[in-house]
Amino acid sequence: MTGLFAAAPSAVSFDTPANIAFAVIAVVMVIAAVRVVTTRNVVHAALWLMIVLGGNGLLYLLLQAEFVAMTQFLVYLGAIVVLFLFGIMLTRAPLGRSDDLDNDQRWMGVAVSLILLVVIGYSLIKTYSDDKLTFGAVRNAGTNAQTQDLATSIFVDYLVPFEVVSVLLLAALIGAIVLARRD
């Protein structure tokens, strides 16, 4: 493996503080993700989503990817979830419990989730069973090479798609406002 991590053959151990923190964050994220799709209150679902996205940012911090973590916090927690909440409020969705939601797809969702868990788990174990992740976020001491590479990639190589997505989000917000305010 190249890039953020260097691979060293060894068994995975769960006795380091980073592994313990990962396990705790992962369990909280899984519980919150299940609550996102099972809660009957749409506002509560958005708040559970905040926990999932915040946990994702914390995992980036554990991986020593501070720039990506802060971007995760600012963009997803600070913008996307707020956009969801504004959309919920502007469309005048019922803010209480909704018993009329169609939840007949639960067993299909559980079956697909378990199949994906087995397939992805098997492929990850098969591919990386002998690798141990070692943290090596900064290539050159005293420089911020990885952040510079990421910024160059976003704002030079992928500038047009980045701007298209931002305009698309703006158009979606304007569309939600127009649809919500039709009286």
Structure tokens at 114: 């378990």
How far apart CA 95 and CA 69 sit, in angstroms, is 31
How far apart CA 43 and CA 138 sit, in angstroms, is 40
* Res 124: pLDDT: 87
pLDDT digit string (tens) for 98-136? Answer: 666 655 677 887 899 899 999 999 998 888 887 776 655
pTM: 0.57
* Res 24: pLDDT: 93
The residues, ordered by sequence, that sit 6+ positions from 154 with a Cβ below 8 Å of its Cβ are 162
Structure tokens at 116: 């994906």
7 pLDDT more than 50: no
Chain centroid offset of residue 59 CA: 10
49 pLDDT more than 80: yes
Contact between 134 and 8 (Cβ < 8 Å): yes
Within 86-150, strands assigned E span: 131-135
58 versus 82: which is more confidently predicted?
58
pLDDT digit string (tens) for 60-82? Answer: 998 888 888 888 888 888 888 78
Whole-angstrom distance between the N-terminal and C-terminal Cα of the chain? 57
CB count within 10 Å of CB 94 equals: 11
